[in-house]
A and B are shown apart, each in its own frame.
Chain A
Amino acid sequence: MRATFVETLIDITKKGHDVHLLTADLGFGLLEKFIEKFPDRFTNVGVSEANMIGVAAGMAIRGIRVFCYSIAPFIIFRTLDQIRSDLCSMNLPVILVAAGGGLSYGMEGMTHYAIEDLAITRALPNMIVLVPADPIETEVLTAETVNFNSPCYLRLGGKVEPKVYKNGHLPTFGIIECLHNKGNIAIIANGTMVLRAEKAIELLKKENIFCRLYSLHTVKPIDIVGIKKIAGTCKLIVTIEEHSIINGIGTAIAEILFENSYHGKFVKLGLPDEYPKQFGSRDWMRDYYKLDPKNIASTIKKLLL
């Protein structure tokens, strides 16, 4: 995903957009491709994330399209005051590129996890929040950022992630994407959880249980119309996210369902309200929190009883 981001940024810049990439000293082995092509459009500000946001604001005032890169928790939590006052309130189109959303940093531990980032970013006025699920969504959404007139939080997963989009199908910014369209059970996921949900659907299919799969890549502005349509045709909606169950996409969808008198069943799966004490690989951590295909499938089966 991160590799696709860099490739797309190179494409955007080649097209003539006045891009500048800032990093707070992270991205070794990743950003070099961009730096080699556009050395004057890259600056390492040092380990100083708060300053990076202010610098980005100043540059954006002069019309430069600034991308700020760091590991997710460092770019959003350490800098939150600068983000709300300098970017969101002033509505400057700076793109915050967050590497390793959720538990992606596995063995690095909680300091490197971002499991409350969507709760915060979706509450910030003017902020656009994007969580691509695979390289295709990363490419399309990154390319879209040049059209934004507002700040954006782009939450990426690992360096390379498998594709979930097939047969040339492409997502659209702002529209919840249907990846499987069979049955009247809807799984709505985003980011790395889309692939896991897809595997759960395969398991359920073997037992003649058919589920739809949606990718909510655009968390804000949320596709209210699309979600209402799903609610109108599904008896069970399950949300899956690599984020705290508090105020993530599950909550965002629940708000819409409740306000629109949804009468079906609704369950949100995600991370519990805790900071993990244990360490483990990212896949192990996801499994530990029961966000694995087998557990997702068995949860859905139980809900159908």
Chain B
Amino acid sequence: MKKREQLEKTSLLIRRNIIEMCSSTRSGHIGSSLSVVDILVVLYENIVKGSPPDPERDRVILSKGHACAALYAILGYKGWITAERLKSFATNGCLLGHHPHWEPDIGLEANTGSLGHGLSIGCGLAFAAKKMRSSSRTFIILSDGEANEGSVWEAAAFAAHQKLNNLCMILDANSYQAMGHTKDILDPINHVEKWKAFGWHTIEIDGHNVMALNNTFMKFGLTQKPFAIIANTIKGKGISFMENNILWHYRSPQGKEYELAMKELQ
């Protein structure tokens, strides 16, 4: 079990890797990648059991697939993706593009990129695990913009009805989506009450507090309900000029911006 200092150190390293990967390839979706880093670090360092190709491993699906730079970076850190593969990110002919393709042997557990798919696939994995009496658990990370999709709520209803207490949904609630603030585009009104109303055991936390994340994950599976973590995060977390700025859904830091970003991540 990694301690707070170690987890925070790893988060910083992953953020640096994301900036490096996205800057060198002029890739976007940096804000979304930075908001989900702490969730991924705690998950992969302290929570997820097993690793590919063990069929009994826990599975994580980044349903907000556009933030895959963060996922690739943590899988690279874990050694599931080789350094060589990681270097190929977003280059012509690569197999690590801007949205993940299913490659279970390196921890990419589904195709994601079209929003609103991951939770249904997660339901299928969790439901199958129950049927097979498998101990494998399923973690699905959604964005709050993604929760606009109707299919998310079809899956939410299914998971509660089937009592999938081996399924954990983490909402990376960074309050922004592609065209602006979630409240201005399609007001979520109240994430916690919605997931509770759908029959999920729901806990709201600061999605950048690694110990809060760690301690909340420990409560997963203690009830008969599927588990929802509403993780309040900051889009672009860790780099002052990227935080809460929608431009960094699209832009890639170059020159001085890159230097400034890396300096802030010391």
How many residue-residue contacts, CB under 8 A, span A and B? 98
Which residue of A40, A48, A55 contacts B124 across the interface (Cβ within 8 Å)?
Answer: A55
Q: Find the B residue at minimum CB distance from A44.
A: B161
The answer to whether B113 and A85 touch across the interface, beta carbons within 8 angstroms, is yes
Segment at the B interface, from A59-67, A108-116, A150-158, A195-203? A59-67
Distance of A158 from chain B, by nearest CB (Å): 29
Which residue of B110, B120, B128, B150 contacts A53 across the interface (Cβ within 8 Å)?
Answer: B120
Tell me if B121 is interfacial: C-beta within 8 Å of chain A. Answer: yes
Tell me if A267 is interfacial: C-beta within 8 Å of chain B. Answer: no
> Given the complex, which residues of B lie within 8 Å of A58, measured CB to CB?
120-128, 138
The answer to whether A86 and B117 touch across the interface, beta carbons within 8 angstroms, is yes
The answer to whether A61 and B124 touch across the interface, beta carbons within 8 angstroms, is yes
Binary flags per residue of A259-274, CB closer than 8 Å to B gives 1, else 0:
0000000000000000
The answer to whether B114 and A85 touch across the interface, beta carbons within 8 angstroms, is yes
Binary flags per residue of A41-77, CB closer than 8 Å to B gives 1, else 0:
0010110101101111111111010000000000000
Number of interface residues of B (CB under 8 A): 34
CA distance A60 to B120 in the complex (A): 12
Which of B143-192 touch A at CB < 8 Å?
Answer: 150-151, 154-155, 157-158, 161-162
Q: How large is the interface on A (under 10, 10 to 19, 20 to 34, 35 or more residues)?
A: 20 to 34
Chain A, interface SS category: helix
The answer to whether B120 and A89 touch across the interface, beta carbons within 8 angstroms, is no
CA distance A34 to B157 in the complex (A): 25
Q: Find the A residue at minimum CB distance from B162.
A: A43
Tell me if B119 is interfacial: C-beta within 8 Å of chain A. Answer: yes
> Given the complex, which residues of A lie within 8 Å of B251, measured CB to CB?
none
> Given the complex, which residues of A lie within 8 Å of B101, measured CB to CB?
89
The answer to whether B111 and A54 touch across the interface, beta carbons within 8 angstroms, is no
Which of B87-113 touch A at CB < 8 Å?
Answer: 101-102, 104, 109-111, 113
Tell me if B129 is interfacial: C-beta within 8 Å of chain A. Answer: yes
CA distance A116 to B114 in the complex (A): 23
Distance of A242 from chain B, by nearest CB (Å): 30
Tell me if A81 is interfacial: C-beta within 8 Å of chain B. Answer: yes
Given contacts A48-B157, A90-B111, A54 and B119 within 8 Å (CB-CB): yes
Distance of A59 from chain B, by nearest CB (Å): 4
The answer to whether A57 and B113 touch across the interface, beta carbons within 8 angstroms, is no
CA distance A23 to B255 in the complex (A): 55
The answer to whether B158 and A55 touch across the interface, beta carbons within 8 angstroms, is yes
> Given the complex, which residues of A lie within 8 Å of B122, measured CB to CB?
58
Chain B, interface SS category: helix
CA distance A85 to B125 in the complex (A): 16
B110, B154, B155, B158 pick with most chain A CB within 10 angstroms: B154
The answer to whether A82 and B111 touch across the interface, beta carbons within 8 angstroms, is no
Distance of B164 from chain A, by nearest CB (Å): 10
CA distance A54 to B111 in the complex (A): 11
Which of B50-75 touch A at CB < 8 Å?
Answer: 55
> Given the complex, which residues of A lie within 8 Å of B114, measured CB to CB?
81, 85
Tell me if A20 is interfacial: C-beta within 8 Å of chain B. Answer: yes
The answer to whether A56 and B111 touch across the interface, beta carbons within 8 angstroms, is no
Which residue of B111, B126, B134, B155 contacts A51 across the interface (Cβ within 8 Å)?
Answer: B155
Given contacts A55-B123, A58-B122, A58-B125, A86 and B154 within 8 Å (CB-CB): no
Distance of B105 from chain A, by nearest CB (Å): 13
> Given the complex, which residues of B lie within 8 Å of A45, measured CB to CB?
158
The answer to whether A59 and B127 touch across the interface, beta carbons within 8 angstroms, is yes
Which residue of A46, A50, A55, A86 contacts B110 across the interface (Cβ within 8 Å)?
Answer: A86
CA distance A20 to B128 in the complex (A): 10
Given contacts A85-B117, A89-B111, A90-B111, A51 and B123 within 8 Å (CB-CB): yes
Distance of A236 from chain B, by nearest CB (Å): 45
The answer to whether B120 and A55 touch across the interface, beta carbons within 8 angstroms, is yes
> Given the complex, which residues of A lie within 8 Å of B134, measured CB to CB?
62
The answer to whether A62 and B158 touch across the interface, beta carbons within 8 angstroms, is no
The answer to whether A86 and B158 touch across the interface, beta carbons within 8 angstroms, is no
Given contacts A82-B117, A85-B114, A89-B111, A56 and B154 within 8 Å (CB-CB): no
Q: Find the A residue at minimum CB distance from B138.
A: A58
Distance of B54 from chain A, by nearest CB (Å): 13
CA distance A89 to B158 in the complex (A): 24
Which residue of A20, A54, A61 contacts B120 across the interface (Cβ within 8 Å)?
Answer: A54
> Given the complex, which residues of B lie within 8 Å of A57, measured CB to CB?
110, 120-121, 124
The answer to whether A54 and B151 touch across the interface, beta carbons within 8 angstroms, is yes
Tell me if B131 is interfacial: C-beta within 8 Å of chain A. Answer: yes
Tell me if B1 is interfacial: C-beta within 8 Å of chain A. Answer: no
Distance of A12 from chain B, by nearest CB (Å): 17
With A55-B127, A86-B121 already in contact, 18 other A-B pairs whose C-beta atoms are closer than 8 Å: A40-B131, A48-B151, A48-B157, A50-B150, A50-B151, A51-B151, A51-B154, A55-B121, A58-B124, A58-B128, A59-B131, A60-B124, A62-B128, A81-B114, A82-B151, A85-B111, A85-B114, A89-B101
Which chain A residues have a beta carbon within 8 Å of chain B's beta carbons?
20, 40, 43, 45-46, 48, 50-51, 53-62, 64, 81-82, 85-86, 89-90
Residue pairs across A and B with Cβ atoms less than 8 A apart, 10 shown, are A48-B157, A48-B158, A50-B120, A51-B158, A54-B117, A54-B123, A54-B155, A55-B127, A58-B128, A90-B111
Sorted nearest first, the 9 A-B pairs with minimum C-beta distance are A58-B124, A54-B120, A51-B154, A48-B154, A62-B128, A55-B124, A58-B125, A59-B128, A50-B151
